[in-house]
Chain A
Amino acid sequence: MIIPALEYYLVLGAALFIIGLLGVLVRRNLLIVFMSIELILLGANVTFVGFAVALDNMLGQAFVIFSLTVAAAEAAVGLAIIVALSRHRDSLNVDEINTLKG
């Protein structure tokens, strides 16, 4: 039994997810878009842990560890891409990044 009820945790997870999604859609700075992706992952983590505790199943908490691993890997590779990108261009505006060729 968790206090407060599971619904509150789910709504919090959904709120974090939506805010992160809006950040990805709305911001133009590539670094902040990446931070918004981290917000999305955090929202998913809250939902995982909430269900894991409410349903007495430890798998949800174990899965959050995998989610953390993926978040760390994604941040490392994504920031390396940003570093490589900034060698070619001055700004990190997502509107100007529209080719795959270097």
Chain B
Amino acid sequence: MNSETLLTLIFAYLALACVVFAVLVVLLRNPVQCALALVGVVFHLAGIFILLRAEFLAAAHIIIYAGAIIVLFLFTMMLLNLNVVERARQFHMQAPFAVVIGALLFVEFIVLTGAAITVGAQGPHSPAWVAGQGGNVQALGQVLFRDYLLPFEVASVLLTAAVVGAIVLARQRPRRPRSSSEMGVGEWMAERYAKAERRAREPANPGQGEGPQQ
């Protein structure tokens, strides 16, 4: 068995596993099992990236998808404490139509794939150039930090905005309509006096009053 056949077999296994796990993501009832199937997709996809000699992206996919995004999904499910397996119907009425349209789109993609191979010129980053840089990671760093530094910085701004947005969206709303920082000084003092008076009136039973005992 020569190496080309071996690589093709490895690709066949990885691609098949990817598709099977992806179908499981769509079909399984329990969202936790769906998330685990998504982990399977990502790991086999990382194998395919290694087959393409894109080692950095393989590692990045495992770290970011399996390590961050899917863990975020699982955290959300556990935070929400939903009834994870909903008894209601899981699929829309439009499922048969969606499958037909998806199959048509897939056929269209395959037809376009045959046409797409003929277009495009060879770029400057040949395997010899990549090897001269010292490997895939170094070559990707050269391209990313020399030619595309500004988009990279913009991506970091996007991440910062996403973090702030996520915190603002998921924040617990305060129970009282206004916090103490929004009260006027007089109002705040009046509340303090009322609290202290209540505490002074019933000193006999500690633990019953509001706030910590001093």
The answer to whether A and B interact is: yes
| Interface: B186 (CB within 8 A) | no
| Interface: A84 (CB within 8 A) | yes
Question: Given contacts A10-B113, A57-B124, A62-B140, is CB(A42)–CB(B41) below 8 Å?
Answer: yes
Q: B-facing mask of A40-62, CB < 8 A → 1, else 0? A: 00100110011111011111011
Which chain B residues lie closer than 8 Å to A12 at the CB level?
15, 18-19, 48
**B22 touching A20, Cβ below 8 Å:** yes
Chain A nearest CB, measured from B16 CB (Å): 10
**A7 touching B113, Cβ below 8 Å:** yes
- Is chain B's interface secondary structure helix, strand, loop, or mixed overall? helix
Chain A nearest CB, measured from B34 CB (Å): 5
9-residue interface stretch from B49-57, B177-185, B188-196, B202-210: B49-57
**B19 touching A16, Cβ below 8 Å:** yes
Nearest-neighbor residue (CB-CB) of A13 within chain B = B109
**Cα distance A25–B93 in the bound complex, in angstroms:** 10
**Cα distance A65–B203 in the bound complex, in angstroms:** 63
**Cα distance A72–B142 in the bound complex, in angstroms:** 23
Chain A nearest CB, measured from B6 CB (Å): 9
**B76 touching A50, Cβ below 8 Å:** no
